[in-house]
Amino acid sequence: MKLTLIIVLLSMGIIVHAQLAEPLFFNEKIHDFGEVVETAGPVDFEFIFTNNAARPVKIISVQASCGCTTPGWSTDLVAAGTKGFIKVSFDPKGRPGYFNKTLTVTTDLISSPLVLQIKGTVVEQLKVADQPLLVAKGNLRFASNSFNMGKVFINKPASVREYVVMNTGAEVVEFKNVVAPAYIKIEKPTALNSNTKGIIKISYDAKLRNQYGFLSDNIEIHTNDSVVPVKVFSVYATAEEFFPTQTPDELLKAPMLVSSHYEILFDRVKSGKPIENSLTLTNRGKSTLEIRSIQSNCTCVIAAMDKQSIKPGEVTQLSWKMNTEGRKGTQNKAITIYSNDPRNPVQRITLSGYIEE
Q: Please report, for the chain, the start and end positions of each structural domain, with discontinuous segments joined by +.
A: 15-125, 135-240, 246-357
| Integer angstrom CA distances of residue 122 from 33, 103, 106, 175, 287 | 9, 19, 29, 34, 34
- Contact between 123 and 36 (Cβ < 8 Å): yes
- Contact between 91 and 70 (Cβ < 8 Å): yes
Topology given in CATH for the domain delimited by 135-240: Immunoglobulin-like (2.60.40)
Contacts of 40 (CB under 8 A, 6+ apart): 92, 150, 151, 159
Q: Identify the architecture of domain 246-357 in CATH.
A: Sandwich (2.60)
Contacts of 16 (CB under 8 A, 6+ apart): none
d(CA 198, CA 230): 17
Partners of 294 in the beta sheet?
337
Nearest to 285 by CA among 253, 307, 308: 253
Report the SS3 class of residue 25: strand
Same fold, 135-240 and 246-357: yes
DSSP string, 282-314: EE-SSS-EEEEEEEESSTTEEEEES-SEE-TT-
- Contact between 96 and 37 (Cβ < 8 Å): no
d(CA 251, CA 290): 16
CATH code: domain 15-125 is 2.60.40.10
pLDDT at 12: 42
d(CA 252, CA 245): 13
Report the SS3 class of residue 209: helix
Angle at 41 between CA 160 and CA 287, to 5 degrees: 130
Strand order across the 146-153 sheet: 146-153, 230-240, 213-223, 173-179, 191-192
pLDDT at 155: 94
Report the SS3 class of residue 343: coil
Number of helices (H), then strands (E), belonging to the chain: the values are: 3, 27
Tell me, yes or no, if the pTM score tops 0.95: no
Phi/psi at 253 (5° precision): -95, -5
DSSP conformation class of 273: -
DSSP conformation class of 139: T
* 357 residues of the chain, pLDDT tens digit each: 444 444 444 444 433 444 445 788 888 888 888 888 887 778 888 888 888 888 999 988 888 887 777 777 877 788 888 888 888 888 888 788 888 888 888 899 887 888 899 988 888 765 666 668 889 999 999 988 899 898 899 999 999 999 999 999 999 999 999 999 999 999 999 999 999 999 999 999 999 999 998 899 999 999 999 999 999 999 999 899 988 877 778 888 999 999 888 888 888 888 988 999 999 999 999 999 999 999 888 899 999 998 999 999 999 999 999 999 988 888 888 899 999 998 888 888 888 889 987
pLDDT at 301: 93
